[in-house]
């Protein structure tokens, strides 16, 4: 069985292994597939589209065809792994739901311990929608890459080969974090996260479990019968966004007058009064620039947890929720008479 230690110590060995696998695999590829693998711009456009759409239909035919080509390339037997293998990917703060440099102590190359503790508690699982690129050996980065993902790809999974020791894996998969620690890397500290590829369904089930728990707590706290909360969360940092939603709802319930909250929820959408998502609001009939919005036709309130405005100012998300709930109350209880006080923290 191939061992990760062999590649850490010898990148040339990793490159030679990848070259041997690549040559054998590419013999079975068509001309269009080979051209796409050499066209990094088109490949990146495919990945950007897959991450944005997350399983939704792709309207641009050229991108849709390229997705099919990559799917087909990974279906070839020579793309299947005979043994489990570890791959590495440097992660930027944005992928993890944070602002640049937020993981480091100001002006230093050391990880902020409080930030690390919060990250360790929140980063547990996520979904990979694109053909994620990685390497067979760790590659050094700078402070814009505070986290090194050390991911186990199980035997039987598919892997495609690019240049040197760079590879890509199949789309629509999940991963789970097994452990993490702070390591030293060429004069700076990095958070090394050990994870394992798993099915997307397993991650979705974990998100649904959080949703169920939130609804149980919400209904118990308010004494209502309906399930009012829906989590449409399915990004790379899914667990981080789910964790932030839990904290957000605790703040919201503790600061909102109980009678107004109960009366409003009872008049809101009975399937999902509150929707918390890490997808663009354009998929919910909203404006991509909005942090959240109340839909008077559907009688529900949607908040984009990972909107840039909420990432840059983490305290802003509770203000967004209060503000949009003010519109909800205006519409359902007071016939659109503005209640500015509801937008203030009690």
Q: Is the pLDDT of residue 2 over 80?
A: no
Could you tell me whether strands 274-277 and 229-232 are parallel, antiparallel, or unpaired per DSSP bridges? Answer: parallel
CB 151 within 8 A of CB 174: no
Indicate whether 127 and 140 sit together in one domain.
Answer: yes
Indicate whether 163 and 244 sit together in one domain.
Answer: no
Indicate whether 316 and 191 sit together in one domain.
Answer: no
pLDDT digits (tens, 9 = 90+) for 64-78: 999 999 999 999 999
Q: Which residue has the tokens 């991450």?
A: 51
What domain range is 237 assigned to? Answer: 202-343
DSSP 12-28: HHHHHHHHHHHHHHHTT
Indicate whether 182 and 210 sit together in one domain.
Answer: no
Helix (H, G, I), strand (E, B) or coil at 233: coil
**Rounded distance between C-alpha atoms, residue 288 and residue 281, angstroms:** 5
Supply the CATH number for residue 243's domain: 3.40.390.10
Q: Which of 208, 150, 158, 155 is nearest to 176 (CA)?
A: 150
Please give the pLDDT value at position 9. 65
Please give the pLDDT value at position 1. 43
Please give the pLDDT value at position 141. 81
pLDDT digits (tens, 9 = 90+) for 7-64: 876 889 999 999 999 999 999 999 999 999 999 999 999 999 999 999 999 999 999 9
Structure tokens at 284: 């919910």
Assign 346 a pLDDT band (cuts: 50, 70, 90).
Answer: very low
Please give the pLDDT value at position 249. 96
**Rounded distance between C-alpha atoms, residue 17 and residue 87, angstroms:** 13
Q: Is the pLDDT of residue 151 over 70?
A: yes
Assign 101 a pLDDT band (cuts: 50, 70, 90).
Answer: confident
User: Mean pLDDT score of the chain, rounded to an integer?
Assistant: 92
pLDDT digits (tens, 9 = 90+) for 189-240: 999 999 999 999 999 999 999 999 999 999 998 998 889 999 999 999 999 9
- Per-residue DSSP letter, 130: S
Indicate whether 187 and 213 sit together in one domain.
Answer: no
Q: Is the pLDDT of residue 314 over 90?
A: no
pTM (2 d.p.): 0.92
Indicate whether 59 and 92 sit together in one domain.
Answer: yes
Torsion of CA 126, 300, 327, 259, to 10 degrees: -100
Indicate whether 12 and 157 sit together in one domain.
Answer: yes
Among 153, 169, 198, which residue terminates a domain? 198
Among 198, 229, 248, which residue terminates a domain? 198
For the segment 158-177, the average pLDDT, to the nearest whole number, is: 97
Indicate whether 169 and 73 sit together in one domain.
Answer: yes
For the segment 314-328, the average pLDDT, to the nearest whole number, is: 94
Q: Is the pLDDT of residue 5 over 90?
A: no
Per cent of the chain over pLDDT 70 is 95
Please give the pLDDT value at position 238. 98
Lowest mean pLDDT among 31-45, 95-109, 279-293, 317-331: 95-109
Among 158, 173, 198, which residue terminates a domain? 198
Q: Which of 236, 330, 321 is nearest to 276 (CA)?
A: 321
> In whole angstroms, how far apart are CA 291 and each of 276, 294, 305?
11, 11, 8
pLDDT digits (tens, 9 = 90+) for 233-266: 999 999 999 999 999 999 999 999 999 999 999 9
Assign 167 a pLDDT band (cuts: 50, 70, 90).
Answer: very high
Specify the higher pLDDT residue, 313 or 340.
Answer: 313
Indicate whether 174 and 316 sit together in one domain.
Answer: no
Torsion of CA 158, 163, 165, 167, to 10 degrees: -20
Specify the higher pLDDT residue, 181 or 336.
Answer: 181
Please give the pLDDT value at position 194. 97
Q: Which residue has the tokens 């190359």?
A: 109
**Rounded distance between C-alpha atoms, residue 290 and residue 150, angstroms:** 35
Indicate whether 144 and 234 sit together in one domain.
Answer: no
Indicate whether 252 and 208 sit together in one domain.
Answer: yes
Supply the CATH number for residue 132's domain: 3.90.176.10
Torsion of CA 10, 11, 16, 21, to 10 degrees: 110
Could you tell me whether strands 125-128 and 173-185 are parallel, antiparallel, or unpaired per DSSP bridges? Answer: antiparallel
CB 197 within 8 A of CB 175: yes
Look at the chain and report how many structural domains it folds into. Answer: 2
Q: What angle do CA 265, 303, 59 make, to 5 degrees?
A: 120
Indicate whether 31 and 124 sit together in one domain.
Answer: yes
């Amino acid at each position: 069985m191939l061992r990760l230690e062999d590649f850490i110590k010898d990148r040339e060995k990793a490159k030679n292994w990848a070259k041997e696998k690549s040559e054998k695999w590419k013999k079975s590829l068509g001309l269009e597939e080979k051209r796409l693998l050499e066209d990094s711009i088109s490949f990146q456009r495919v990945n950007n589209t897959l991450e944005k759409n997350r399983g939704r239909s792709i309207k641009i035919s050229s991108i849709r065809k390229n997705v099919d080509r990559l799917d087909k390339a990974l279906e070839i037997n020579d793309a299947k792994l005979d043994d489990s293998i570890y791959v590495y990917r440097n992660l930027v703060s944005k992928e993890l739901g944070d602002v640049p440099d937020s993981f480091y102590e100001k002006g230093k190359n050391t990880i902020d311990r409080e930030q690390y503790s919060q990250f360790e508690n929140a980063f547990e699982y996520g979904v990979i929608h694109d053909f994620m690129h990685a390497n067979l050996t760790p590659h050094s980065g700078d402070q814009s890459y505070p986290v090194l993902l050390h991911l186990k790809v199980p035997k039987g999974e598919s892997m495609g080969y690019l240049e040197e020791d760079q590879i890509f894996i199949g789309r629509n998969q999940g991963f789970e974090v097994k452990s993490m620690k702070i390591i030293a890397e060429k004069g700076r500290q990095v958070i090394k996260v050990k994870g394992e590829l798993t099915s997307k369904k397993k991650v979705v089930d974990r998100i649904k479990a959080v949703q169920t728990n939130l609804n149980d707590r919400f209904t118990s706290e308010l004494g209502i019968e309906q399930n009012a909360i829906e989590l449409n969360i399915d990004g790379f940092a899914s667990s981080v966004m789910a964790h932030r939603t839990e904290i957000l709802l605790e703040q919201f319930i503790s600061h909102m007058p109980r009678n107004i909250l109960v009366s409003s929820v009872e008049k809101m959408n009975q399937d999902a009064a509150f929707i918390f998502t890490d997808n663009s609001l354009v998929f919910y009939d909203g404006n991509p620039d909005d942090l959240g919005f109340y839909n008077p036709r559907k009688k529900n309130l949607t908040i984009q947890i990972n909107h840039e405005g909420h990432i840059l100012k983490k305290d802003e998300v509770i203000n967004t929720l209060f503000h949009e709930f003010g519109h909800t109350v205006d519409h359902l209880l007071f016939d659109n008479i503005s209640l500015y006080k509801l937008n203030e923290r009690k």
